[in-house]
Chains A and B, each alone.
Chain A
Amino acid sequence: MADGSIGLWTVPLAVLGGAIRVSTPFLFVSLGECITERSGRINLGLEGTLVMGAMSAYGISYLTGSPWLGVLAAGITGALLGALHAGICSLPRVNDVAVGIALMLFGTGLAFYLGKPLIEPTAPRLPAIDFGWWSDIPQVRAALRVNVLFLIGVALAPILYWAFRTTRWGLLIRTAGESSDAARAMGNSVLLIRLRATMVGGFLAGIGGSFLSLFYPGSWNEGLSSGQGITAVALVIFARWDPMLCLWASLAFGGAAALGPALQSVGVTSGYHLFNAAPYILTLAIMIITCSPKRTLTGAPAELSITR
């Protein structure tokens, strides 16, 4: 132990560390999408929002020197993309799934275009809190270097869970998502509720993107997101539109994504690409296990275009 070698313990430790690091974008995007979908609309464009968020956070952090301003800029960019999605979907006979796919391509394309000059320079990164100070083992310390955004995300899940039950906004969002007739009969504007829910969803997804470019992996390039945005959308379905389940699901996906690199670091090289595909295999497996052609998903907002 004295030489810092902890043998096979590296794997679970790396998976834990990965769960914390890799899960953060999943967590933000899925919580954001959870809000949007609970209001009765699905925004598949969050992949584009994530990448745009990553790019704008990196750019603003580089220009101003403050990574936190970058996070804010990423959130605002996401909210604007959300407003664009909601605005287009407010038009009659517009399908939110199709708009989402268009915006996914638009967001990534725009980010690559605007982000070209940002590949070279280095922007200030977000700080981390060292929860591993008590340990001498470098692997433990590395695994427990936790970013503040992760902690915010973890706190956000129970807050959302509570807000959906006990706040006016939570109740209104659920009403709009479960029965737009009921919402209208109460004199509420369903489109306005969905606009706001989509903007908040975009805001959170943008912040998820800022984590990618400002903390882990911590630079801007075109291969930054490997589909986290779209995986997180699937994750909301798997989490049955429950913010707390979104948290656990994000951690599980983060852990699965860290499995490949962790195994490689202890010398397991065969099937490396297979282990890297673990999160996607997990997605497929969970969907197959939990879905059935004979029943609708429990907990699915009734107004969602994919379940209606």
Chain B
Amino acid sequence: MIIGEPPPPSGAFGVDAIAMTMRFGDFLALDNVELKVRPGSFHALLGENGAGKSTLVKCIMGYYHATEGDILVGDREQAIANPKDAHALGLGMVYQHFTLVPAMTVAENLVLARDDVPPVVNWTNEMKELEAFLARMPFKVPLGAKVSDISAGERQKCEILKQLYLKRRFLILDEPTSVLTPAEADEVLGMLRDMVVKGELTILMITHKFREVMAFADDVTILRRGKVAGAGKVSELTPDAMARTMIGAEELTMQPARTGEAGRARLELEKVRALDDAGAVAVHDVSLTVRAGEIVGIAGVSGNGQRQLVEVLAGQREAESGEVRVAGASYHANREEMRRHRMSLLPEEPLKNACVGGMSVADNIAFREFDRAPFASGGWWLNRSAFRDDARKKIAQYKIRTRTPETPISALSGGNVQRAVLARELAGDVEVLIAANPCFGLDFAAVAQIHAEIMAARNRGAAVLLVSEDLDELLELSDRLVVMFHGEFVYEARTSEADLTVVGRHMAGH
């Protein structure tokens, strides 16, 4: 399918967005935004959640139609009505969420992505052609393997290879390294950078990792609340300057200093084994002790059993064998035990794992205590005004942005959902805190607040188990670091003594 008469320009080409404005009802998602991506450059698009980065690239890719503004592809104005038009122009996008079909093989996924899939696929020929294509590419992927069986790093490589296989020469990458180890991220971005330098590709990368911007990008555009807050050459900027441009004048919560020493063992895991949904062993007889006043961080690439481990501790999954002890007593994650031991949980995807989306913010905040005084009389008569009063107090204290306490919690942004969960879980005394990716996808202000709360809980003597895919977060918060790989703890060190390269190697399983 070809749009307009001229064929797409050969080699790398640039894309400009001129005076882009996008309205969703009353909400102004993009306000007169200019973006200039030079041909053959590596351009970073920075901004907090909700700053309009995704909206901007979706306008370029034809998913949204901008209210006003023009798109220039290779200096020629183009009307991009849908993603197919964008593809025909040589534009491709790698999404934050994988778009590979897990139940199919890598080869099937690649062939399927083509516009001209033949009615009957001749697999012998296709495999030969795919192998020839891979031989020219910088990364290798196992063609015959099912996507569900390969690692996150390999999946991300597949996503990028798919775009190159489709001969796209302008790639938009949406947080491409969020599931990769630092070494994998460097490998993938380094190879893409080489292709950019050779003039074969132009890249526009959405990211929030300054390290990657500094190491790989030529230019940067920074968005804040739908407007361009800054743009320029990366070589002339510092991470600090970029961060300040991103968050503007907003005050960040100060993180309290680390105080106090670790006390007695509070949370103990002994040879805990758990299965995943397919019935395979996901957590392999792991043992771990978390002491009072200590943050133990579990590092690892997503999908190495962390989720199942947290689900066991949260009571969402039964352990196959092994024992969990809290303060010396056997623990089975029922409500009474959680209350007695003052357990707090910040599970990942809080809207799904810690909230009932259709119920109000006030109800969600009251979940732990809703059938006890002062929220209930006699264990069954609920006192609605107590819910509201408590919620009002916590909404102010935790800076939860919601229209009213009665608003359904699913209407809140990710950061505010997590704040509401935080308000519920950290309100009283906390003796054990289990947090899983508590800051995933949140903006700076929310991240700073959550980090501060976690550190404060530690300083008050809580035993904290922090599971995270973000190594920087773990290095910043944890006292001890454990690396989880294929369901086992493969490395442990005091965070102050941990060597980042060694940690990365263990995360990748070497």
Contacts and interface: CB of A to CB of B under 8 A. Distances in A.
Interface stretch (B113-121, B326-334, B417-425, B497-505): B113-121
B333 to A, nearest CB: 16
Contacts of B118: 168
Interface of A: 165-169, 171-172, 174-175, 178-179, 181-182, 185-187, 292, 294-296, 298-299, 301-302
Given A178-B103, A182-B100, 4 more contacts: A171-B111, A171-B112, A175-B104, A302-B102
Given A168-B119, A174-B104, A178-B101, A186 B113 contact: yes
Contacts of A295: 275-279
B31 interface: no
A28 to B, nearest CB: 24
B278 A171 contact: no
A171 B121 contact: yes
Contacts of A166: 120-121, 123
Nearest to A183: B101
A294 B318 contact: yes
A165 B104 CA distance: 10
Q: Pick the 9 closest A-B CB pairs, nearest first.
A: A295-B279, A185-B99, A168-B117, A182-B99, A178-B101, A296-B277, A187-B84, A178-B103, A179-B101
Contact of A187 (B83, B97, B101, B119): B83
13 contacts: A167-B120, A169-B119, A171-B111, A171-B121, A174-B103, A175-B112, A178-B101, A178-B103, A181-B97, A294-B318, A295-B278, A296-B278, A298-B278
Interface string B79-121: 0001110010000000101011111100010011101011111
A167 B84 contact: no
A178 B108 contact: no
Interface size class of B (residues with CB under 8 A): 20 to 34
Contacts of A182: 99-101
A171 B117 contact: yes
A175 B119 contact: no
A171 B119 CA distance: 10
B275 A294 contact: yes
A186 B112 contact: yes
A281 to B, nearest CB: 26
> Which of B99, B100, B102 is packed against the most chain A CB atoms within 10 Å?
B99
A168 B111 CA distance: 10
Interface in B311-349: 318
B274 to A, nearest CB: 10
A298 B115 CA distance: 30
B103 A187 contact: no
A301 B104 CA distance: 11
A178 B99 CA distance: 11
Contact of A167 (B121, B275, B276, B277): B121
A171 B105 CA distance: 11
Contacts of B277: 295-296
A294 B108 CA distance: 30
Nearest to B93: A185
Given A185-B95, A186-B113, A187-B84, A168 B121 contact: yes
Interface in B274-301: 275-279
Nearest to B280: A295
A178 B97 contact: no
B99 A187 contact: no
Contact of B119 (A167, A292, A301): A167
A296 to B, nearest CB: 5
A58 B108 CA distance: 43
Nearest to B103: A178
Contacts of B104: 171, 174-175, 178
B87 A187 contact: yes
A179 B84 contact: no
Given A171-B112, A187-B84, A294 B99 contact: no
B458 to A, nearest CB: 34
A169 B102 CA distance: 18
A223 to B, nearest CB: 40
A178 B102 contact: yes
B277 to A, nearest CB: 5
B318 A179 contact: no
B275 A174 contact: no
A279 B119 CA distance: 39
A161 B280 CA distance: 27
A156 B293 CA distance: 66
A175 to B, nearest CB: 5
B192 to A, nearest CB: 20
A274 B115 CA distance: 55
> Which of A167, A168, A186, A302 is packed against the most chain B CB atoms within 10 Å?
A186
Contacts of B82: 187
B290 to A, nearest CB: 27
B101 A174 contact: yes
> Which of B83, B103, B108, B118 is packed against the most chain A CB atoms within 10 Å?
B103
Nearest to A298: B278
A117 B307 CA distance: 62
Nearest to A186: B113
Contacts of B275: 294-295
A165 B100 CA distance: 16
B427 to A, nearest CB: 34
A174 B82 CA distance: 23
Contacts of A299: 103
A168 B87 CA distance: 20
Contacts of B123: 165-166
Interface in B369-416: none
A292 B280 CA distance: 13
A286 to B, nearest CB: 17
A172 B276 CA distance: 28
Contacts of A301: 103
Nearest to A295: B279
A302 B98 CA distance: 14
Nearest to B61: A185
Contacts of B103: 174, 178, 299, 301-302
Contacts of A302: 102-103
Contacts of B97: 181
